[in-house]
Structure 1
Amino acid sequence: MIPWLGDHPAFPPVRRALRHPNGLLAAGGELTPPWLLEAYRHGIFPWFNDGEPILWWSPDPRMVVFPSEARITRSLRKTLRKGAFEVRLDHDFSAVIRACAAPREPDGRTWITPEIQAAYGRMHALGYAHSVETWIDGELAGGLYGMALGHVFFGESMFSRRTDASKIAFAHLIRFLEQNDFRVLDCQMTTAHLASLGGREIPRAEFARLVDTHQRTGPPPGRWPQDGAQAPWT
């Protein structure tokens, strides 16, 4: 059994999350800024399908990327050096989240529902949610979005319409995080793709300590500079 949340943004301790399914902590609540900020400050995120109540998660273990450990392959570095693309930060957040929401399942379902899109759009307007965008030949070819609190970035989703477009965005995100003293990139769920980019699993308790420490310091919320990751690769 999991608790049904009340009227105020408060969550049970993450140690109470279920083992099966891994990390399910609570249901209910809202997707308003106070609820989302309270959730992310404790390493909790919403994830649910259309027609379900809002479900809140904190998996154990947690997959993260420490920026200094990110894996940029030789072939990707070659692509990056060619520079046949433009990477923009926070240029068209709504287009990125819509692209991430495109159904990938045979039944056409997506967890990035219109409700989720509206919620993170509000967080973007407040300076907490950000997009990293790969543009090729004047078109949005790939990218990702997530939440930034202090020196922690919580990755949400990525998409690609051209070869390596999402990996290009990821590489530039890592560069931006390193340059701005971010300490950890949260990947939420464990996947082979994220592991190939340098992700590794850490215990939930360790992740919670990292978030508690590093979300307290850092720049105030605000839009990232559009050209903040544009320096050429060597």
Structure 2
Amino acid sequence: MSEFEGLVAIVTGGGSGIGAAIADELADRGARVAVLDLRPGDAHLGVECDIADDASVRAAVARVADELGGIDVLINNAGIGATGAIDDNDEAEWHRVWDVNVVGIMRVTRAALPHLRASTAAAIVNTSSIGATAGLPQRALYSASKGAVLSLTRAMAADHLREGIRVNAVSPGTADTPWVGRLLAAAPDPAHERAQLEARQPHGRLVAPAEIAHAVAYLASPRAGSTTGVSLAVDGGMQELRLRKD
């Protein structure tokens, strides 16, 4: 029997990029997967949902629980990016990014909690970032939101451990996603910019979405029953390694 056999998983932001890889990985391991996204696509149970709107979230979560028979695993992956130093984004953009990247996790988790409390294999995984632990240039707003996700993950883990709900985070380095692809395409010299992003990660390349999906699957798995309140870096060694330049 596959490790997720009989379990229901929600993946927010699962319509593309990292979220799509996570949804596919969980399904391959036996889960029944629902994708909550503005554009959920045709894979798995696709549910149109705006995590910045509480009514949309509650309706989407209720539909998943009704159609799939409960909720066991929640992957809070949906998020939006932002570039610039602290004075490059106006207040409206700060509120918009925070509302999706941080408050969005609250909305979805709050709606899913009654179902997670009823599960014998409940797990939540939040998508943070290397930007939560390393100072990256031109990522002030994005890094602030992901730092909040990391702190929120630890607080959630403490609050819900004795309810039988494990909460962890995955913290990717720069990944080869459509969003990063758009950033590269807009750069004056895309090839040079890509080389710079690759060079700052010790293993010398962008992180593959499938690699992040494998890490999420571990954190969400019933086999990881003693793993909670942690952040698992998938960043080619960027967070911890300091290599020599020979």
The TM-score normalised by the length of structure 1 is 0.30
More strand by share: 1
More helix by share: 2
The TM-score normalised by the length of structure 2 is 0.29
